[in-house]
Each structure stands twice: as C-alpha cells, then as structure tokens.
Structure 1
Amino acid sequence: MFEPHGPKRLSDIVTGDKTWFSFFIIPPERLNRMWVDGQRDRPVVLRPGFQSRKRMFTVFFNYRGSLAVDILPQDNTMTATYYVQDVLSQVKSAINEQRSKVSTSKTLFLHDNAGPHKARATNQSLRELGIQVLPHTAYSPDLAPYDFWLLRILKDKLAGRKFHRIQDLAKAVNSELLTIPEEDYQGMFQKRQIRVKRCIESHGEYFEGL
C-alpha cells in the first residue's frame, strides 16, 4: 500500500493516542543507573503514588509534526462523545489548516482499538469527514507510533521536572513537541513501515531486533 508507487502516502497518515502525564515524572530506570562503590548505599528513587496528581493528554501528529494536543478536564472520563466533539474537532481543524498549504489527497487515520476509538459515533464522524481509518492489530503498541516512539521521547524530556499547575505542564508538553525536528517525524513513519513488514513476515509471531 505504501510502496514508492503505491496508492497511499505516509505523509497522509494522522496518528495519535492518549496517556497520563504526572505533574512529576520519575526518570525511567535506564536514566537512573549510576556507579556506586561499596561504601555507599544505592540512592532510593521514589515513585509517585496512586494518588499523585496527573492529567490525561491526547496528542495527534503526522509526517510534519504535532497537530493537536487535548487535555481532558479534571475528573472527566474519555468517552466517545468527548473524543468526537473535543479531540477530533481539533484534529480536523489542524488538518484543514495544513491542507491549505500542502497538497494532501486523502487523510489516513491511525488510532488503536480503545473503546472511544471504535464507537459508532466516532466511526460515523470520521466517515462524514471523508477520513479513512487504517486497520490496527489489537494489543500491538509496537506498531503504534505514539506508543513506541513519541510517548517515550516526551516522558524522557519531562522526567525529573516538577509542575505545580496544569498550564505549566501543558506548556512543557507543547514546547517539547516543537523541539522534535520534522525529519524525526518522517523517519519514525519510515521505521513503522519496517515494523509492519517484519510483523507480516513473521505471521504475527514475536520477534526481536527493532
């Protein structure tokens, strides 16, 4: 489908997902490694408790970079109605703005199989917008660009920083998205093609080396 002379283009894909961002993100284990001699105890790394402050962010992006960032209001739940009326409306506006500058034949939408994404209202809204949804294999975060690439970048960049207001956390997320070069976004979509091909070649079985 996405071969050089195929009917689809990687630049037409719009993808994204939601995740929780804590007001204080503990650096991942690989960033906490350090040498200690026999005279010192290993430093204790405290992890945020269940009640630590956090908010749900939804980030969508394409070949050129970030398109939309939505923050779920506190104490709200991500439903199909919210996804359609608040999240997809932002994505639609961003797509339309880019289309006025870049020739995009057709938008290809890639999101996972979460409940709000599969809901009838969501599918109907995407059809009305003329957006084709790409298939995504269930339980395959290693094929979702947000999961295997962008989320890790954002949490690494925000690790160790404390935020007291949601405005500051939101500003930091948006700022870090803007620091990612366009070439990195493009390279990520190319890497996803390699992952998909490897998955097809292995008939969906587990493999290493990515």
Structure 2
Amino acid sequence: MTATYYLQNELSQVKSAINEQRPKVSTSRTLLLYDNVGPHKARATTQSLRELGIQILAHPAFSLDLAPCDFWLLTILKDRLAGQKFDGIQDLAEAVNSELRTIPEEDYQGVFCKWQIRLKDCIESHGEYFKAL
C-alpha cells in the first residue's frame, strides 16, 4: 500500500466512521494510533490528518507487540484464511472484510483492554523490551 492509495481509499473510510460514531465532535479531538509503516508516516498522510484535526499518537519503533493488529488480529485472519486461494486483491479484500465482520464486538473491546495493559507495561519498562503476557 502506498500513501496515495491510503489517502484515496482508506482515510475517507476512517473519517466516515469517526463522523458516524461521534457526529457532534466529528474528527476534531480525535487521537489515532498508527504504526510506523511508510503510508502512515508519509507527509501527505500526516498533513491530511492534521487538516482533519486528527492527532497521531506516536508508536514506539520496533514495537509490534503494541499494535493490536499485530498481536491479535493478524493471527486470527491468518488462521481463518489459511489454505485459501484468491484470484486477485479484490477477492482477498472481500474475504478479509467478511472475516472481520464475524468477529464479535466483545472480542474487539477485549483486545483494547489487553492493549492498555501492554501500553502500561511499555511505559513502566521505559520503552525497553518486555515480555507481553
């Protein structure tokens, strides 16, 4: 994924979801946790977020164990989609979206409780490596 693709295809969905869930606040006063991949750190992305009033929370470098997608979601998706063949990126995207919709809301909420614990552990270790439980 490139920053251009992200801005044209993904950021608008993020903005719409924020506006839908928080119509009175819109995107102002929104904090967004991004990892350190190129499209998230690109100047065009950070400028677009700034214009929307969205503040980016810093993600420590090399801290995959702090990103919920890395420590939880990708494992689920890999397990559920293992062995399947896809004719193209659109078929893969549809399969991933279908799987995401089957995950109960409570599971998403639970992972963010675990994420808060991991963040606390990171703070207490002063950013040094720690073994996540």
Tell me if 1:123 matches 2:46: yes
Tell me, what secondary structure is at the counterpart of 2:80?
helix
Q: Which has the larger radius of gyration?
A: 1
- CA RMSD between the two structures: 2.4
Tell me, what secondary structure is at the counterpart of 2:59?
coil
Tell me, what secondary structure is at the counterpart of 1:198?
helix
Task: List aligned pairs for 1:109-148, cutoff 5 A.
Answer: 109-148=32-71
Within 2, Cα distance between the matches of 1:192 and 1:102? 25
Deviation at 1:207, TM superposition (A): 2.6
Q: Which moved more, 1:96-105 or 1:197-206?
A: 96-105
Is there any run of 5+ residues in structure 1 with no aligned partner, and where? 1-77
Partner of 2:22: 99
Partner of 1:50: none
Within 2, Cα distance between the matches of 1:102 and 1:121? 24
Change (3 A) 1:106 1:183: farther
Partner of 2:31: 108
Deviations 1:122-142 (A, max 9, x none): 111101111111111011110
Task: List aligned pairs for 1:29-178, cutoff 5 A.
Answer: 78-100=1-23, 106-178=29-101
Change (3 A) 1:100 1:203: closer
Higher strand share: 1
Amino acid at match of 1:130: G
Is there any run of 5+ residues in structure 2 with no aligned partner, and where? none
Match for 2:119 among 193, 196, 204? 196
Amino acid at match of 1:202: S
Q: How many residues align?
A: 133
Deviations 1:49-69 (A, max 9, x none): xxxxxxxxxxxxxxxxxxxxx
Partner of 1:206: 129
Change (3 A) 1:209 1:111: closer
| CA contact 2:32–2:54 (8 Å) conserved in 1 | yes
Higher helix share: 2
Q: TM-score, normalised by structure 1?
A: 0.56
Partner of 1:63: none
Amino acid at match of 2:63: S
Deviation at 1:155, TM superposition (A): 0.8
> What is the identity percentage for the equivalent residue pairs of Structure 1 and Structure 2?
78
Deviation at 1:118, TM superposition (A): 1.6
| CA contact 2:66–2:118 (8 Å) conserved in 1 | yes
Within 2, Cα distance between the matches of 1:95 and 1:135? 20
Change (3 A) 1:126 1:206: same
